[in-house]
Structure 1
Amino acid sequence: MIFGIGTDVCDLRRIAATLERRGERFAETVLGPAELTIYRHRRAQVEARGLAYLGSRFSAKEAFSKAIGLGMCHPMHWHACEILNQPGGQPFIQLHGELADWFAERRLRAQVSLSDETDYAVSFVVIETEPS
């Protein structure tokens, strides 16, 4: 059964402007440790790849927060939710700490889809209840 659905569209030009103003601190605020490592690697290779990665993760976390119905309120916060990829590329949501506990107590599971283009990143998240 569907528990919640969330979607978000992120203008990558706004992310770029925020990075210019705040620098690496913005990425450190939004990304968890594993994501930050990937972001830095991609950005070092091609600036646009790093920007798209950061924007897609920002978008996915916003969509996830909408789907669970909490927004960015406790126990949901930026570092408690990481959007990572399986070896084949499929994105998945890795939760940490109190958010992981909150999610498990409700027997929920998440599906996430990401896409980005030159100026935009979009994310779609479906939260389901696990069958009894």
Structure 2
Amino acid sequence: MIYGIGTDICDVRRIQASLNRHGERFAKKVLSEGEFATWQMRSQRWPERGVRYLATRFSAKEAFSKAIGLGMTLPMTWRSCEIGKLPSGKPVVLLQGALKDWFDSRHLSAHITVTDETDYAASFCVVEVTV
């Protein structure tokens, strides 16, 4: 049974403007430790790719927060939700701390997809009850 659906589109130029204003501090606010390491690696090799990576993670977390119906209110936080990927490349939602406890107690599972083009990143999330 579907618990919630969320979608988000993010202007990559807006993410770039936030990075210009706040530097790494902005990325550290949005990304988990693992995501931050990936962002740094991608940014060093190809800065534009790093910005798009950050935009897709921002968008995916927004879509997920909408699908669970919390928005960005506790226990949902930027850093407690990580967008990882399986060896196949399929994106997955990985949760930590109080958000993981909240999510698991409701017997939920999440499906997420992310995409980006030059100026936009978009995500779609479906959360379902697994019981």
TM range (shorter): over 0.9
Match of 2:65 in 1: 65
1:118 matched residue in structure 2: 118
Residue in structure 2 matched with residue 15 of structure 1 by the alignment: 15
Q: 1:88 Cα shift?
A: 1.6
Counterpart for residue 2 of structure 1? 2
Partners of 1:36 and 1:86 in 2: how far apart? Answer: 18
Secondary structure, aligned partner of 1:78: coil
Q: Secondary structure at the match of 2:76?
A: coil
Tell me how far apart the structure 1 counterparts of residues 13 and 79 of structure 2 sit (CA, whole Å): 23
What TM-score, normalized to structure 1? Answer: 0.98
Find the counterpart in structure 2 of residue 50 from structure 1.
50
Task: Please give the alpha-carbon distance, in whole angstroms, between the structure 1 residues aligned to 2:114 and 2:8.
Answer: 10
Residue by residue over 1:108-127, the C-alpha shift from the partner in whole angstroms, topping out at 9 and shown as x without a partner, is 00000000000000000000
* Residue in 2 that maps onto 1:38: 38
Per-residue deviation, 1:96: 0.1
Report sequence identity in percent: 55
Give the 3-state SS of the residue equivalent to 1:109 in structure 2: strand
**What code does the residue aligned with 2:45 have?**
Q
Equivalent residue for 2:90? Answer: 90
Tell me the secondary structure at the aligned position of residue 118 of structure 1.
Answer: coil
Q: How many residues align?
A: 131
SS in 2 for 1:103: helix
Deviation (angstroms), 1:67? 0.3
Distance 1:121 1:98 in 2: 28
Measured in 2, the distance between the counterparts of 1:53 and 1:89 equals: 14
Gaps of 5+ in 2: none
**TM-score, normalised via structure 2 length:** 0.99
Q: What is the root-mean-square deviation of aligned Cα atoms in Å? A: 0.5
Question: Unaligned regions of 5+ residues in structure 1, if any?
Answer: none
Q: Equivalent residue of 2:74, what SS?
A: coil
